[in-house]
Structure 1
């Protein structure tokens, strides 16, 4: 409820805290930010502030909250264009459009209008546009979730796998991820040595549950692969212990939300990452037979649409008034630190220590799309100069 008197149940946050909160709100939804009503709801949730629209705008003015309008007034178009050019350096295939670029600008604290972003892209990268008919879409039924934490979807992604990259035997970068259906919130996206190993995926899920404050969703949907068996057992055990009133899922088990995410990710960084990896072979930066090189590397939606995934996840009613938080609070029930470390290990601890030392002694160089192979070559050269190659090659990885 609005609070005309300005009195709240707890001490008001400082102007610095409020400004930081408004800055975070502005970064959501690919840099479009949250609308006023959603900002009011988040202030209530984050700071127990009960205010109305008028007080909200007064607060924003008092703390000088950032906005796209202020950026348009204070930043010269040439400076904005330069920021966009810098961001597009990490998009060698030219796949990032207005929303992708605006989202990355927002992460850097630069709030740009769609028009300004589109103009800059048109002026500097118009030759990268590919206009044509879209492929026909598969007919799908509407997805429906009660709210965040109702239905969670997990899947592995191997577009950077061994058979996809074709860089050599055992050279792969598989990814595993989990996504909330209602909010489209990405719970996790983890690079793992093996996304087809049931024990590895089990430890991935245990880490995920712990990192979320021991919360689990009511339903966990997967594609039915053998790598999911232990993860599903863990989920069922935790749910039966923490919320026995829930029976096995009766909702649709289509894994569409996470599977469709891979296409979005591929059109974002995915193809650019793959292209950059493949570029390292021809010049000789990467030698597949060298052991050191080998291991160093809708508008019709019934759920929320067109809104910030983070805000939908934290404030479900922003997307649908009947939505609610469906999380189940669970407890830590499984151990095995040694097995957990092995699940995430690409190389042996000895080799990891050696490459970490090389990276530190080289001055912790910044790793980006345009510098990755330069850093790679420098680390390899350091290892060859400071370590016994035969010894370090024999200890690369212990299965």
Structure 2
């Protein structure tokens, strides 16, 4: 006998959550564009609050939760879309990309039923739930060779959950190919499936040590500690990089190359590299975080033959695996153990700052002083090179003293 839909279950609310907790949860579900039955199930999971569809609609009305059925005025919607589209210099993104971004700002715009892009080819995959397997890899499309700006390089390193499609972590790093740097990004994950690259060394050691200590009953012959595979077979995350390149990477590259094409940046001036990183890394990481948020909140296409969730929102499957037939595969690791591993890694290869910092502390202090001296102008990707020019001469004057 099939189980009844959450919409048909009788309500037994128990302790009613506070208005603040309810509103926060409902706005989070709206930002993820979850179906109504999923929102009802999540209220039960997150707040132990069981309701039916009528009550959910009443709560949405009470807290003015945005919906596509009550879209903003056409002028507001048009301007919101224009503000996003003007940043899409290479015009690589579809309307649904901007629609999902605007959801995070509480602006719900109805779907436009246009042509869909070709889906990414995928092979049959299997996993039990979140953190059963995590794929990791580095992305070099904004590296030194791609930018051709001297020592400027912007590699990205990311982790992707196989079962849910969630991206738990994705950062710009000074070097995505050293074991020490990537070792300091690790310490968070259970099962690793990653590229066969030189950067995996310390990740393997940390994973092996933590699992042997806190999950000794897991047979490494059945559930491998780490699998080293070539990029062409690491489809979980390799296919994802194409989305990053098309949706974000090309636009970021255009903004970065302005400094080269307009001769603002000189690879022959040493402090130009540090100044570039001081200005651009926070801005670029913010855009990367925005893209990661979009990915985790977009709806994955339906695949009837898939043995794992499909047609779902990655962030929801990651947070509520029980609603999708999965199990949470995380293993509790005390913070003290993580701290011990961090100290061990620091003793062996150096501190996190020494491997993941883009410039030294002395330059950071100088740049902050100069930025304050010129009046702290607004920093964005559109103004970044203007601010670079305003700061370059004062810094040069100090360095030449």
State TM-score, norm by structure 1.
0.81
Q: Is the 8 A contact 2:274 2:363 kept in 1?
A: no
1:326 corresponds to which residue?
329
1:240 corresponds to which residue?
212
Residues 132 and 303 of structure 1: is their aligned pair in 2 closer, same or farther, counting only changes over 3 Å? closer
Shift in Å, 1:361: 4.1
Q: Which aligned pairs between 1:1-399 and structure 2 lie closer than 5 A?
A: 2=9, 4=11, 6-8=13-15, 12-14=17-19, 16-28=20-32, 33-71=33-71, 75-115=72-112, 141-168=123-150, 170-206=151-187, 209=188, 216-217=189-190, 219-248=191-220, 250=223, 254-297=233-276, 298-300=301-303, 301-318=306-323, 320-321=324-325, 323-331=326-334, 332=338, 333-336=340-343, 339-385=351-397, 387-389=398-400
Partners of 1:102 and 1:362 lie apart in 2 by 37
Residues 282 and 141 of structure 1: is their aligned pair in 2 closer, same or farther, counting only changes over 3 Å? closer
SS state at 1:221 partner: strand
Shift in Å, 1:53: 2.3
Partners of 2:317 and 2:245 lie apart in 1 by 24
Residues 43 and 389 of structure 1: is their aligned pair in 2 closer, same or farther, counting only changes over 3 Å? farther
RMSD: 2.5
Partners of 1:133 and 1:103 lie apart in 2 by 16
Instruction: Give structure 2 stretches of 5+ with no counterpart.
Output: 1-5, 277-300
Partners of 2:170 and 2:312 lie apart in 1 by 21
Partners of 1:134 and 1:179 lie apart in 2 by 21
Partners of 2:133 and 2:342 lie apart in 1 by 26
Instruction: Give structure 1 stretches of 5+ with no counterpart.
Output: 119-130, 210-215, 391-399
Q: Is the 8 A contact 2:135 2:236 kept in 1?
A: yes
Partners of 1:17 and 1:361 lie apart in 2 by 43
Q: Is the 8 A contact 1:90 1:368 kept in 2?
A: no
Residues 110 and 382 of structure 1: is their aligned pair in 2 closer, same or farther, counting only changes over 3 Å? farther
Partners of 1:133 and 1:80 lie apart in 2 by 24
CA-to-aligned-CA distance 1:130-153 (integer Å, 9 cap, x gap): x99969x76x53011111111101
Partners of 1:242 and 1:225 lie apart in 2 by 27
SS state at 1:177 partner: strand
Residues 360 and 34 of structure 1: is their aligned pair in 2 closer, same or farther, counting only changes over 3 Å? farther
Point out the more displaced range, 149-158 or 369-378.
369-378
Shift in Å, 1:275: 1.6
Shift in Å, 1:200: 0.9
CA-to-aligned-CA distance 1:97-149 (integer Å, 9 cap, x gap): 12211122112221111139x7xxxxxxxxxxxx99969x76x5301111111
Residues 99 and 134 of structure 1: is their aligned pair in 2 closer, same or farther, counting only changes over 3 Å? closer
Partners of 1:89 and 1:34 lie apart in 2 by 28
Partners of 1:293 and 1:103 lie apart in 2 by 36
Shift in Å, 1:202: 0.6
Residues 41 and 367 of structure 1: is their aligned pair in 2 closer, same or farther, counting only changes over 3 Å? farther
SS state at 2:218 partner: coil
Shift in Å, 1:368: 2.9
Q: How many residues align?
A: 352
1:121 corresponds to which residue?
none
Partners of 1:46 and 1:132 lie apart in 2 by 34
SS state at 1:222 partner: strand
